[in-house]
Each structure stands twice: as C-alpha cells, then as structure tokens.
C-alpha cells in the first residue's frame, strides 16, 4: 500500500482494514514537530452516537494554552460508516472528526483524541490515523487499555507507569487526578511520549480527562441530545456544520 495516500474510508474487509492500519503505523512520525511551550491552540476530539447507533456525532473543541479558555467548537453528524469492531474506531469516527477539524476557522497546534495512538494492537489507533491524514500532531488519550499491560503505581497526580506490549513501550498510564483512575496516553502522530504526557497533564489541572477532550465530549453529547449540527459562527453555514 502506498503510505503517501493512506485512506480513511470504510475498508471492504477486516483484512483490508488491518493492512491500512499497518501502513499507518509505518507512516506516522514519532518525533515531535512542536514543543508544548509553543502550543497556543490545543484541540480535543470526541464522538457519541445516536440512540439507534446509526449516526455518529463528532465534536472538536479548541482551547487556548495556558489558560484553557474555549476558543472555538465545531461538530458534525454523519451516518456511521463502519460496524463496531474493537481496534477499528478510526473507520467509524475518524471521517466525521476530520470533517469537524477541517471546518474550524483556526488550525490547532496539537490535537488530543479520545482513543489510542500507538497503544493499539497494530500501533495505529484513531489518534494515529486521524493525525496522519490531517498532518497535525496528535495524542491518544483513552480511558481503557486496548493493547498491553501496565504495573501498579502511586496515587499522586502525575504518577505514571509504562504500557508494555510485546516487549515494547507503547504508551503511558498517567494519574491525572490524585486517587482517580489513570488515563492511557500514547503517541498519535508527530509527537513523542514524554511530550504527549506533558500535554495531558497541562490540560488536566482539575479533572481526570483533558479539558479539550472533556469539552468535545460535552458538545458531542449535547448534539446527540438535540440531533442537530451547527457552528458557533452563524454567518458561516454549510451542510456539515449547520447553524
């Protein structure tokens, strides 16, 4: 497969999907293209589903650093293009997330995605696939482990433990709030693991989930309840963004 033109379309089979993910894993960059002290706009992406499971509501929220004020929100609703299969969420949610990011009026310096990056059986979770297609540095922030194991570690905020899978460190379990369950951080695209962890801690000052992802989650749930798509900018409307 040509790694310069990796698709984010529903594969015809799981075998084709795996081949696409293997190409993604080869193509993603594990070297950061931006340092956190130069990040001014940090975005979060999440998605929710309609009650019948046929529509995906993807939302992106852009926050400023270091104050974490909300700068912009955008969301898109689309028909779910791929069935539920663990490890293949890029094909379910990725196209809608990419559309939402593309409709933003500002390009984020860094994108945090609710899901995995390299902490994935084929090292190509949704954060890696979306980041590669968009050409934006991305970090995966997941609530559960998909691949690998981690050791027990302390309860303090900022404590962490590597996620090991098949003899390789693929991510980091990070305690973002004292005494709470960890989140599972991994490189998506054009980042390294230490900078990824730093970005997550910088955006979780009062909560377990990074503020941009938490805001995107809130918006996607709100859209799910209302069954509409719209934009913060009422002067600029299109079929994907609504009003």
Given a contact cutoff of 8 angstroms between Cβ atoms, the answer to whether 87 and 122 are in contact is: yes
Given a contact cutoff of 8 angstroms between Cβ atoms, the answer to whether 70 and 138 are in contact is: no
Q: What is the CA radius of gyration of the chain?
A: 17
Give all strands of the β-sheet with 183-189 in edge-to-edge order. 70-79, 55-64, 41-49, 110-114, 138-142, 183-189, 168-174, 160-165
Q: Which residues of the chain have pLDDT under 70?
A: 1-7, 227-243
| pTM assigned to the model | 0.90
Domains (ranges, CATH) in the chain? 32-226 (3.30.2170.10)
How far, in Å, CA of 108 to CA of 177, rounded?
A: 25
pLDDT in tens, 120-159: 999 999 999 999 999 999 999 999 999 999 999 999 999 9
């Amino acid at each position: 497969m040509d790694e310069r033109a990796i698709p984010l379309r529903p594969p015809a089979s799981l075998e084709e999907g795996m081949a696409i993910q293997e190409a993604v894993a080869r193509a993603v960059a594990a070297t950061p293209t931006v340092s956190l002290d130069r990040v001014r706009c940090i975005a979060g992406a999440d998605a929710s589903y309609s009650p019948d499971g046929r529509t995906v509501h993807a939302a992106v929220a852009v926050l400023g650093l270091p104050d974490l004020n909300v700068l912009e929100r955008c969301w898109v609703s689309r028909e779910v293009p791929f069935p539920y299969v663990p490890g293949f969420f890029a094909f379910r949610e990725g196209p809608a997330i990419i559309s939402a990011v593309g409709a933003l009026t500002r390009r984020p310096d860094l994108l945090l995605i609710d899901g995995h990056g390299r902490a994935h059986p084929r090292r190509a979770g949704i954060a890696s696939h979306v980041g590669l297609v968009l050409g934006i540095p991305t970090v995966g922030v997941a609530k559960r482990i998909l691949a690998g194991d981690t050791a027990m570690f302390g309860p303090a905020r900022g404590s962490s433990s590597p996620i090991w899978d098949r003899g390789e460190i693929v991510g980091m379990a990070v305690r973002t709030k004292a005494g709470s369950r960890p989140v599972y951080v991994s490189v998506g695209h054009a980042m390294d693991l230490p900078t990824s962890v730093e970005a997550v801690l910088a955006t979780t000052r009062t909560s377990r989930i990074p503020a941009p992802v938490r805001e995107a989650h809130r918006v996607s749930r709100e859209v799910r309840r209302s069954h509409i798509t719209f934009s913060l900018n009422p002067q600029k409307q299109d079929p994907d963004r609504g009003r």
